[in-house]
Amino acid sequence: MSETLADIKEQLAEFSGRYAPKILRTATVTAVNNDDTVAIELGNGRTVDDARLRAVVANGNRVVMIPTAGSTVVVGKLENSDEYVVLMVSEVSEIKSTIGAVELNVNNAGILLKKNADTLKQIATLIIEAIEPIIIIEGRNPNMVKLAQAKTKVNNLLR
């Protein structure tokens, strides 16, 4: 009898996975995890601890929009599973992009553009610091006020 019930259960699951309507629903982000997933609460009060922000949660090349905790997202349930994926977000707290050795990260602290160990901020700062001590005997010296302003703006924009 239990084998028959197991067969019926399997066939019903296959049938519902194939012919059930595809439903998108709204949810509230309750926490942002460190593995490209978020914890959400669906409208019916059910919680999901690991709704995906990407099609496949794995290391490698990616572009991920991280929603703000407390914001609303639209999620879809993956076919034949209990897993959810975030499709749209109402508020973004961070954008992460990785392609090979290049990393781009944008959040309210600024922009991080990095390739291996080199960052755009380090490069711009090195250029400014290399120009600051230049003294020209005949002609015009570097505009130190503008160099200081540039350095401040680099530190404000980049991280």
pLDDT digits (tens, 9 = 90+) for 65-107: 999 999 999 999 887 788 899 999 999 999 999 999 999 999 9
Q: Given this model, what pLDDT does residue 18 score? A: 66
- DSSP H helices, 20-143, are 120-131
Closest to 132 (Cα-Cα) out of 105, 151, 113, 117:
151
Superfamily covering domain 2-93: Nucleic acid-binding proteins (2.40.50.140)
Segments of the chain assigned to CATH 2.40.50.140: 2-93
Identify which has the larger pLDDT, 80 or 112.
112
pTM above 0.85, yes or no: no
Of 69, 71, 65, nearest in space to 95 by CA = 65
Summary mean pLDDT of the chain = 89
Q: What is the mean pLDDT of residues 115-143?
A: 89
CA distances from residue 79 to 53, 83, 147 in whole angstroms, order as listed: 16, 8, 57
